[in-house]
């Protein structure tokens, strides 16, 4: 079966970015002039995804509004004959079939993904974390994962190499290298100390799962922080099916903490042709 559906969990409380995220979902914070989640939907669509389920919560209506048509705004722009803005705005509501479901309480990433069971049924599917941005020059990360799934018919997720001092912030794998950038995963350990870590290969926010993951999530008890952890369900899945880890060779940005958010904006601004030169000048002066 083709991977044509994706889930974007975006129901976290974003406490690390409070008070900005008190009324504005962290996924809606701007990375230049686009909200973070739009880049993620664009990445999914570019990888061939046709239907997307976004997991939200009570405070996240702005995400639904962003992917809906904006009748008043479009009418106003039409009256002003502002074609440029219209061409930029109109496609946002037509990028893919986008559905929403609410996670009633923040029971963890595993629980959020589990809410997609009825939507996914028995198809393989992608998961893209709502606060992780992936920038690529060569190949879209999710597309690479889907290509690997198509070939191997096994779950596969993205990895990046992290400094040993940082392993305790991530899920870390052990496994055998089977080809350039591809590991056959043997073990998964959540937030190990540098002494415990079998490798420095960290799991990052793009996955393709077989629908077997839902059974594993259902069997997963609340773990760290009292939340149902996706990593725990992935660990269980390893006992039934092989899994692959793919080292993404682009850049990954964690927009869910203050420094990560700032670095994302600076890098995206430096790549944006219309502002990069003057922004560089500004940075040079400051430094
Ligand atoms: P994070 O732990 O990074 O998000 O979850 P958070 O809980 O919003 O962060 P802080 O610690 O409070 O600042 C990773 C991803 O899982 C989603 C988040 O929205 C994010 O995309 N998530 C997390 C859910 O959808 N539901 C949850 O219960 C927890």
Q: In this structure, is residue 138 part of a structural domain?
A: yes
Ligand 1 centre distance from Cα of residue 27 (Å): 10
Q: In this structure, is residue 276 part of a structural domain?
A: no
For residue 108, the ligand 1 atom closest to its alpha carbon is: 28
Cβ neighbors of 41 (< 8 A, separation 6 or more) are 8, 52, 67, 95, 96, 98
Q: Whose CA is nearest to atom 4 of ligand 1?
A: 12
Residue 142 has pLDDT above 90, yes or no: yes
Q: In this structure, is residue 141 part of a structural domain?
A: yes
The predicted structure's pLDDT at residue 159: 98
Ligand 1 centre distance from Cα of residue 193 (Å): 22
pTM metric for this prediction: 0.95
116 closest CA partner among 56, 203, 188: 56
Residue 1 has pLDDT above 90, yes or no: no
- Residue of 59, 109, 203, 227 to test ligand 1 pocket, by largest number of atoms within 8 Å of CB: 109
Cβ neighbors of 75 (< 8 A, separation 6 or more) are none
Containing structural domain, residue 77: 5-256
| Two structure tokens written together for 220 | 């997963």
Q: In this structure, is residue 269 part of a structural domain?
A: no
233 closest CA partner among 209, 256, 206: 209
Q: In this structure, is residue 181 part of a structural domain?
A: yes
The predicted structure's pLDDT at residue 139: 86
What average pLDDT does this structure show over 157-180?
Answer: 95
For residue 8, the ligand 1 atom closest to its alpha carbon is: 21
Q: In this structure, is residue 153 part of a structural domain?
A: yes
The predicted structure's pLDDT at residue 81: 93
CATH of residue 246: 3.90.550.10
| 246-281 pLDDT per residue, tens | 999 999 999 999 999 999 999 999 999 999 999 999
| 192-217 pLDDT per residue, tens | 999 999 999 999 999 999 999 999 99
Ligand 1 centre distance from Cα of residue 15 (Å): 9
Total structural domains within the chain: 1
The predicted structure's pLDDT at residue 124: 98
- Residues having CB closer than 6 A to ligand 1 are 9-16, 55, 103, 106-109, 111-112, 129-131, 256
What average pLDDT is seen over the chain? 95
| Two structure tokens written together for 49 | 């995804």
Q: In this structure, is residue 283 part of a structural domain?
A: no
Is the Cα dihedral 247, 248, 249, 254 positive or negative? negative
Q: How far apart are CA 78 and CA 70, in angstroms?
A: 12
Q: In this structure, is residue 262 part of a structural domain?
A: no
Beta bridge partners of 35: 30
Residue 137 has pLDDT above 90, yes or no: no
41 closest CA partner among 113, 130, 107: 130
Ligand 1 centre distance from Cα of residue 246 (Å): 23
């Amino acid at each position: 079966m083709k991977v044509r559906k994706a889930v974007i969990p975006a129901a976290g409380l974003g406490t690390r970015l409070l008070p900005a995220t008190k009324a504005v979902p962290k996924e809606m914070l701007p990375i230049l002039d686009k909200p973070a989640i739009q880049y993620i939907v664009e990445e999914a669509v570019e990888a061939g995804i046709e239907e997307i389920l976004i997991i939200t919560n009570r405070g996240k209506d702005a995400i639904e509004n962003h992917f809906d048509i904006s009748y008043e705004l479009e009418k106003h722009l039409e009256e002003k004959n502002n074609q440029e803005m219209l061409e930029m705005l109109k496609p946002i509501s037509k990028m893919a079939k986008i559905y929403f479901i609410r996670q009633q309480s923040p029971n963890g990433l595993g629980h959020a993904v589990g809410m997609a069971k009825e939507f996914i049924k028995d198809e393989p599917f992608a998961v893209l974390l709502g606060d992780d941005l992936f920038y690529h020059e060569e190949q879209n990360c999710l597309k690479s994962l889907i290509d690997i799934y198509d070939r191997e018919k096994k779950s596969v997720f993205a990895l990046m190499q992290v400094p040993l001092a940082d392993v305790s912030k991530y899920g870390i794998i052990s496994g055998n290298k089977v080809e350039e950038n591809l590991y056959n995963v043997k073990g998964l350990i959540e937030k190990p100390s540098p002494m415990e870590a079998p490798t420095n290969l960290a799991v990052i926010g793009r996955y393709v799962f077989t629908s077997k993951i839902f059974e594993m999530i259902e069997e997963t008890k609340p773990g760290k922080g009292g939340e149902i952890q996706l990593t725990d369900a992935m660990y269980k899945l390893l006992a039934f099916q092989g899994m692959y880890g793919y080292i993404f060779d682009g850049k990954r940005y964690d927009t869910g903490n203050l420094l990560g958010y700032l670095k994302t904006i600076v890098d995206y601004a430096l790549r944006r042709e219309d502002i990069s030169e003057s922004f560089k000048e500004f940075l040079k002066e400051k430094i």
